[in-house]
Amino acid sequence: MAKHSKAYRAAVEKIGDAIYAPLEAFAMVKEVATTKFDQTIEAHFRLGIDTRQADQQLRGTVSLPNGSGKTVRVAVFAEGAAADAAREAGADIIGTDELTAQIQAGEFNFDAAVATPDQMGKVGRLGKILGPRGLMPNPKLGTVTPNVAQAIKELKGGRVEYRADRYGIAHVIIGKASFTPEQLAENYGAVYDEILRMKPAAAKGKYVKSVSVSGTMTPGVAVDSSVNKNYTVAAE
């Protein structure tokens, strides 16, 4: 069993067993996130879904009102006018065959990938490489699109992906420890509302079972899963 540091154990004691309202939870996370680097803050939603069932999958993207605080490097599979648009929109890497060769050689100098529909014949062959890394362009996530400029803008502006794992838990980036509690709570509210909106029709019983938030190096802080950022009861 892993041994936790003295600071971590002190944070556990400070947090206690309380269940916090969203704004209070983020204030607590910031208080215990005492490392020198700017920790990433995540929310963890334990949902009443069985992701082994095709009709209970949960995956999508949501734009955070205050951004994610992360610098996102975007690679774009495009050519011609679409490549020009991607360049103007601030894409970090643009290409087709050359970009494909770099990926096949194990070079991944990007955090997200976008492709125009006409490039998916080539990109599809990279599925076994990009898929396990969460980098495969997907039309459902808005990363296979003729409007590459808009996709780049959203990715760099703070659009994050959520996906429920095999245990029905969705781990979602909310921001950075340097954000104010209000900024984190606002981002959390956007994610919370999106997850409620995308509730699978086949899901039965209580949908949001529990929520916790944490920093990269902090213990989890339990959040009242029955209310959103504005302390209003959220309908399920």
> Would you state the pLDDT for residue 207?
93
SS (H, E, C) the chain: CCCCCHHHHHHHHHHCCCCECHHHHHHHHHHHCCCCCCCEEEEEEEECCCCCCHHHCCEEEEECCCCCCCCCCEEEECCCHHHHHHHHHCCCEEECHHHHHHHHCCCCCCCEEEECHHHHHHHHHHHHHHHHHCCCCCHHHCCECCCHHHHHHHHHHCEEEEEECCCCEEEEEEEECCCCHHHHHHHHHHHHHHHHHCCCCCCCCCCEEEEEEEECCCCCEEECCCECCCCCECCC
> Would you state the pLDDT for residue 6?
82
> Would you state the pLDDT for residue 233?
41
State the Cα–Cα distance between residues 184 and 162, nearest whole angstrom.
Answer: 16
> Would you state the pLDDT for residue 228?
61
Instruction: Quick: pLDDT tens for 32-61.
Output: 998 899 999 999 999 999 999 999 999 888
Say whether pTM exceeds 0.75.
yes
> Would you state the pLDDT for residue 232?
44
> Would you state the pLDDT for residue 2?
58
Q: Which single residue is written with the structure tokens 């808009």? A: 150
Maximal CA-CA distance, the chain? 58
> Would you state the pLDDT for residue 227?
65
Give yes or no for a contact between 44 and 163, defined as CB atoms under 8 angstroms apart. Answer: no
> Would you state the pLDDT for residue 235?
44
State the Cα–Cα distance between residues 30 and 82, nearest whole angstrom.
Answer: 42
Give yes or no for a contact between 214 and 67, defined as CB atoms under 8 angstroms apart. Answer: no
| Closest listed residue to residue 115, CA positions, set 99, 133, 132 | 99
State the Cα–Cα distance between residues 71 and 111, nearest whole angstrom.
Answer: 9
Instruction: Quick: pLDDT tens for 102-113.
Output: 999 998 899 999
| Closest listed residue to residue 62, CA positions, set 123, 142, 132, 121 | 142
Angle, CA of 73, 77 and 83, to the nearest 5°: 90
Bridge partner list, 44: 171, 212
| Closest listed residue to residue 53, CA positions, set 188, 222, 166, 213 | 166
Instruction: Kindly state the percentage of the chain with pLDDT values over 70.
Output: 95
Q: Which residues of the chain fall short of a pLDDT of 50?
A: 1, 231-236
> Would you state the pLDDT for residue 225?
84
